Structure 1
Amino acid sequence: MASFLPDDEALRLVPRVSDLTMADIPAEIGLFPLSGVLLLPRGKLPLNVFEPRYVALVEDALASQRLIGMIQPLWGEEDEEEVEKAPPLYSIGCLGRITSFTERADGTFAITLSGVARFRILRETGLHRGYRQARIDVSSFVGDLSEIPSEPFDREKLLESLRRYFRQKGLSARWSIIEHMEDDTLLVTLPMICPFPPAEKQALLDAGSLTDRVRVLQMLLDLSGPEEEGPPS
């Protein structure tokens, strides 16, 4: 079975970026379109950055507020020619703050982004050093800067659906780590690590609250359907 979960360090959530307020978030941000990759507020996302335009994006972010706009293209990487032509983007992404980085000898980066708040694209403003920029609005997502807990949910049902989903996908997990996560940490970690298709990842990002995210996550896990019974012995 393939192992999908990151190591223990990648599973930890960094402390909330408490020194940032809505007023600190710039009106314009550099974008990092990446299909099938989800960053959520208070989540932690490791990335290897090697393409020149995104190396430039990281350099510029490090020189200012360390903020990058993670967002998904409306289609995946299967049409590389179209991707190179700047594909349309989903309207909602998530701001990530670079909280650790390593610059390699060849000028590429290994970085970790900590999710700050979601944003909505108002309009793109062109290219800068090869990467896309956009004016954004975060006013609809002010709650992302606060730790608002979810309403009570059926944790055991969610975990059982997750186990079934992983079995069907041939994935392994360190269940002792998952089972001991606090509820709110669980609801950030699971959507980010589950290998859902891009549109389903976007549905989790678009969910208005942690409570809404629980409903979407449970639905997506259950869409895998019941496990097939083995042949009679």
Structure 2
Amino acid sequence: MHSLPIFPLGGVLLPGGRMPLQLFEPRYLALAQRLAAEPEQERRFGIVRIRQGHEVGEGAATELHEVGCEAVADAMALAQAGAGAVVHLVARGARRFRLEGLDEDAGTPYLTGRVSWLREGGEDDHGLDELCSRVLRAHARYLDAVGAGADPVEARPGQLAYRVVERMVLDPVDQQRVLEGPDAADRLRRVLTLLARETAIVERFGALPTPPDPGGASLS
């Protein structure tokens, strides 16, 4: 079991992905101060999607999902705003973890979790190459349906599902389902289902997906 500072959000950070954050609440400014005191490669905390509640305010997040993503603070900058100090931070997704519980005795103003790291697994599955090909073909059809152009997705099998999800317009609920996939094959199958659903909606009804409000996923 490992101890990890926890940052509840309405959005989802995926392994290998990046997320800009703005920290302004006193408890998260304290977290930023702790991170700044660590060596660069040790500036790590956990991002967990809120199941019930909201981001801002004391005790706002009343229930969290069980699976989250370790975040490495790749860049940090302090700025002064009208309401006080704001820390701008770029988080890079690293390892997935299971939130086993909260450490009520940690003595930190922010949440501290007891976590166990999740194994990615399944990259040596011989069926992954075919699954990856199917996902890439389905993603190309999705992009064509929504009228978007993009460079080809290049990622190893264990990361492909995450990279494709980043290039889709999805609700955080769907992103969380992919994050929770137990292995690469399962995540790829979940992404195939999402691609088929989203492409069918666009092709049948001509309704382009609307990006979710990014504000709730980057402010706390």
Task: Give the TM-score category using the shorter length.
Answer: 0.7 to 0.9
Structure-2 separation of matches of 1:148 and 1:98: 32
Please give the alpha-carbon distance, in whole angstroms, between the structure 1 residues aligned to 2:193 and 2:152. 23
Aligned: 1:133 with 2:105:
no
Q: What one-letter code is carried by the residue in structure 1 that aligns with 2:110?
A: Y
Question: 1:36-90 CA distances to partner (integer Å, 9 max, x unpaired)?
Answer: x22122222222222222222222123232111000111364x988x84431111
Distance 1:120 1:229 in 2: 38
Counterpart of 1:68, as a letter, is F
Q: TM-score, normalised by structure 2?
A: 0.72
Report the alpha carbon displacement of residue 148 of structure 1 after superposing the two structures with TM. Answer: 9.9
Matched, 1:221 2:199: no
Aligned counterpart, 2:209: none
Q: Give the number of the structure whose residues are more often strand, by fraction.
A: 2
Letter in 1 for 2:138: K
Letter in 1 for 2:33: E
Residue of structure 2 in register with 1:156 after alignment: 137
Mark the runs of 5 or more structure 2 residues left unpaired by the alignment.
207-220
Q: CA RMSD in A?
A: 3.2
**Closer/same/farther in 2, CA of residues 135 and 40 from structure 1, 3 Å limit:** same
Identity fraction in percent: 24
Q: How many residues align?
A: 191
Please state how far the C-alpha of 1:120 moved relative to its aligned partner.
Answer: 0.8
Pairwise CA distance, 1:217: 1.3
Label 1:207 to 1:150 Cα distance change in 2 as closer, same or farther (>3 A).
farther
**CA separation of 1:27 and 1:49: change in aligned 2, threshold 3 A:** same
User: Aligned to 1:105, what secondary structure does the other structure show?
Assistant: strand
How do 1:69-80 residues align onto structure 2 when only pairs under 5 Å count? 69-75=46-52, 77=54
Partners of 2:28 and 2:188 in 1: how far apart? Answer: 33
Task: Kindly report structure 1 stretches of 4+ aligned residues shifted beyond 4 Å.
Answer: 146-150
How far did residue 143 of structure 1 move? 5.0
Counterparts of 1:198 and 1:229 in 2: how far apart (Å)?
Answer: 22
Normalised by the length of structure 1, the TM-score is 0.68
How big is the shift at 1:158? 2.4
Distance 1:229 1:58, change over 3 A: closer
Q: 5 Å matches for 1:131-210? A: 131-138=110-117, 140-141=118-119, 151-152=128-129, 153=132, 154=134, 155-164=136-145, 167=146, 173=148, 175=149, 178-184=150-156, 187-210=161-184
1:151 Cα deviation from its structure 2 partner: 1.6
Q: 2:190 matched to 1:211?
A: no
Query: Which residue of the partner structure matches residue 5 of structure 1?
Result: none
Match in the other structure for 1:43:
17
In the alignment, the residues of structure 2 paired with residue 98 and residue 55 of structure 1 have an alpha-carbon distance, to the nearest angstrom, of 14
Residue matched to 1:55: 29
Given that 2:46 and 2:69 are in contact with CA atoms closer than 8 Å, whether structure 1 keeps it comes out as yes
The answer for the alignment partner of 1:112 in structure 2 is: 90
Whole-Å Cα distance in 2 between the matches of residues 61 and 149 of structure 1? 41
Matched with 1:34 is: 9
Q: What one-letter code is carried by the residue in structure 2 that aligns with 1:113?
A: A
Which residue matches 2:215? none
Contact 1:41/1:94 (<8 A) preserved:
yes
Counterpart residue number, 2:45: 68
Q: Distance in 1 between matches of 2:23 and 2:162?
A: 23
